[in-house]
Amino acid sequence: MSRHQITRLRHDTRRRTLTIVSIETLGSHMRRMVFTAPELKDFVSASADDHIKLFFRAADGETVMRDFTPRRFDPTAQTLTIDFALHDAGPATQWAAAAQIGDTLDIGGPRGSAVVPDDFDWVLMIGDETALPAIGRRVEELRAGVPAITLVVVDGPADEQRFAARADWQGHWVYRAGQSDDDSGLLLGALRTLALPAGEGFVWIAAETAVARALRAHVQDVIGHPREWLKAAGYWTRGVADAADKTLDG
């Protein structure tokens, strides 16, 4: 098989009901929850940027779905970790802010995985809090010694995370510091100062849709990175509920 072959897998999906066994606060507005359930015995998540559907009850009583990342799955303990970035409003954020140990949550998927091989000379991952679960998981899964550069926008130093990396991880953080909601400006400014390693790299971007689009344009058109070794997604869209744009085609 040639180098850098991305493999697409389909998985059987079914709905599972999980129970929270622990809750941890990460920084100023993230909550990490560990869930368990006997149904997790055949749970499969093959890629760090997989997503599962979480089912919530909206204010009008309807059931709605939102996408979240399986941050860590432990098949022996049958536990699944999900990190929730809390923001102003929305069924997912409201549920996550109020959740307590023993509460249940229905999930579906992952339906498929796009597995990026760990054979690149380096990896660059850029995003915001919603991307941190995929970024952290990927950094922790990468092979020993591979340069892994991450660039993440958060509110402040308390929101930085540490990853148990075997890779040669270089974490760059930029802060809104209550001064800015211009994630594009902050991330692009930092990206311009980054020296990328030599060789063939893979770039992954996930953030608010307009931010992800601006970053993708910079990586493709200014840095000149090959399109096939770049994946960019809008994980949410400012001012619009339930509005991910996973291919940025819109």
Ligand X SMILES: Cc1cc2nc3c(=O)[nH]c(=O)nc-3n(C[C@H](O)[C@H](O)[C@H](O)COP(=O)(O)OP(=O)(O)OC[C@H]3O[C@@H](n4cnc5c(N)ncnc54)[C@H](O)[C@@H]3O)c2cc1C
Footprint of ligand X on this chain (CB under 6 A)?
Answer: 51, 66-69, 83-85, 87-93, 130, 133, 235-242, 244, 246
Closest chain position to ligand X (CB) = 90
Is the CB of 91 or the CB of 171 nearer to ligand X? 91
Is the CB of 168 or the CB of 242 nearer to ligand X? 242
Minimum CB distance to ligand X, residue 12 (Å): 19
Q: Which residues contact 221 (CB under 8 A, 6 or more apart)?
A: none
CA dist 213 → 54, 135, 232 (Å): 25, 18, 8
Minimum CB distance to ligand X, residue 236 (Å): 4
Minimum CB distance to ligand X, residue 220 (Å): 21
Minimum CB distance to ligand X, residue 19 (Å): 19
Is the CB of 90 or the CB of 197 nearer to ligand X? 90
SS (H, E, C) 94-110: HHHHHCCCCCEEEEECC
Q: Do residues 172 and 192 lie in contact, with contact meaning Cβ atoms separated by under 8 Å?
A: no
* 80-93 exposure pattern, b = at least 16 Cβ within 10 A, e = fewer: bbbbbbbeeebbbb
Minimum CB distance to ligand X, residue 51 (Å): 4
Is the CB of 217 or the CB of 240 nearer to ligand X? 240
**Cα separation of the two ends of the chain:** 33
Q: Would the CA dihedral through 11, 12, 17, 19 be positive or negative?
A: negative
Is the CB of 135 or the CB of 146 nearer to ligand X? 135
